[in-house]
Amino acid sequence: MVLLYNTALFFLRLGFRFASIVHSKANAFVKGRKAIIDKIQLAFKNNTAPVVWVHCASLGEFEQGRPVIELLKKEYPTLKILLTFFSPSGFEVRKNYKYADYIFYLPWDTASNAEKLVAAANPTVAIFVKYEFWYHYSKALKSRNTPLISISSIFRPEQLFFKSYGGFYRDILKNYDYFFVQNDVSLKLLKSIGIDRCTIAGDTRFDRVYAVVQEGGDILIAEKFKGNQKTMVVGSCWLEDLEVLTPMINEDKLKFIIAPHEISETFLQTIEGAIQVKSIRYSKAGDKNLDEYQVLIIDNVGMLSRLYKYGEFAFVGGAFGKGLHNILEAACYGVPIFFGNKNYEKFQEAIDLINRGGAFEVADYVDLKDKFEMLNVPSTFLLACDVTRSYVTENLGATEKIIQYCRKLLK
């Protein structure tokens, strides 16, 4: 099985090299790993401080690791953080993250790379986020008796770990010292294969999102645009989301704040062309009488988490495509949340909020309209608001549970 694993990674690596010729993301993936082990060895050459290694696949997992990193740095100022990413979408966005001392792409999971990285960094603790289970890295850490923990991890019955032929993958999990899982299903699955070093801590994203919302300031243009009218904030909007929303927008009964997933001129013009009511881009709204406009189009990045406060309703995009985007930011403000009905089921918070009556998956405009009109009943609307708000506060505290464990290892 080790041979098959190594062979699969070899062909995956080869595939990225071919793809890098024509694909910018694959090119960044390959270029970022050139001489990567040499760079890591050089970076740690004179380090004498204790190191915590935090590994994230991409940007979403980084947001789960982030509150742990920042609390560790607060409590242990001399501690060095090694932060690694598998994907360019994480590395390229966070390569200058101020709370990490060393930031690199994760070298390919070979026995040689794993031994060299672990020897060079010599971490006191390694923290891998969510789905990151690498054979050679976990083995190298275990051979040096370096504690390896998994945080915000989530497991499903269909994963290879839980199949009769999944012994090799179960052995990877056995190299981990502790699992902080998100839910009871994950806990029971681990225990079913003899792994008892686990506990339900929840998802650290709750702590991160709640902190961001608490720290966030006002957005005066959004406040002026909203006025005293009911507003729906559309976050991370894709074309498929826009197609469902457009008929509702054109009814001219609500104001809409639309934050596209990608801020490209092409998509901004697509939005403007699809809607029949009067719209304005954020960048041009400063000196305008915003009472005249029904749609505010956000043509910048970085303010979405603060925009949801200006809505009575939220629609979060992505679920008609590759996957639902972050709904917790909207939930923090206690608003009913809508999203597509296709790719949301791997997000525990989406399932929980649907079951509790705070979120609504929709198939198309007609479905959206029907579920939206349900909320015209004041008791239903207030229940949905209370559900989303309380769901966030109930799930705070995962970061502190993880830090309590780390404190014992960092004495």
> pLDDT value at position 89?
84
Residue 367 has pLDDT above 80, yes or no: yes
Q: Which residue range is the domain that position 261 belongs to? A: 218-394
Q: Are residues 341 and 387 in the same domain?
A: yes
Q: Are residues 146 and 287 in the same domain?
A: no
pLDDT tens-digit series, residues 73-103: 999 999 999 999 999 989 998 999 999 999 9
Domain-located, residue 26? no
pLDDT tens-digit series, residues 184-213: 999 999 999 999 999 999 999 999 888 888
Among residues 217, 219, 183, 218, which one has the least CA distance to residue 202? 183
Q: How confident is the model at residue 29 (pLDDT cuts 50, 70, 90)?
A: confident
Place of tokens 């603060």: 306
Residue 55 has pLDDT above 90, yes or no: yes
Sheet holding 231-237, edge to edge: 279-281, 295-297, 255-260, 231-237, 313-316, 337-340, 359-362
Q: Are residues 164 and 229 in the same domain?
A: no
> pLDDT value at position 329?
93
Domain-located, residue 1? no
User: What DSSP string runs through 248-306?
Assistant: HHHTTSSEEEEEESS--HHHHHHHHHH--S-EEEGGG-TTS-GGG-SEEE--SSS-HHH
Q: Are residues 169 and 262 in the same domain?
A: no
Q: Are residues 151 and 226 in the same domain?
A: no
Residue 340 has pLDDT above 80, yes or no: yes
Residue 216 has pLDDT above 80, yes or no: no
Residue 107: give its domain's CATH number: 3.40.50.11720
Residue 215 has pLDDT above 90, yes or no: no
SS (H, E, C) 377-389: CHHHHHHHHHHHH
> pLDDT value at position 27?
87
Domain-located, residue 12? no
> pLDDT value at position 356?
96
Percent with pLDDT over 70 in the chain: 100
Q: Are residues 245 and 385 in the same domain?
A: yes
Residue 272 has pLDDT above 90, yes or no: yes
Residue 359: give its domain's CATH number: 3.40.50.2000
Q: Are residues 38 and 160 in the same domain?
A: yes
> pLDDT value at position 211?
87
Q: How many domains does the chain divide into?
A: 2
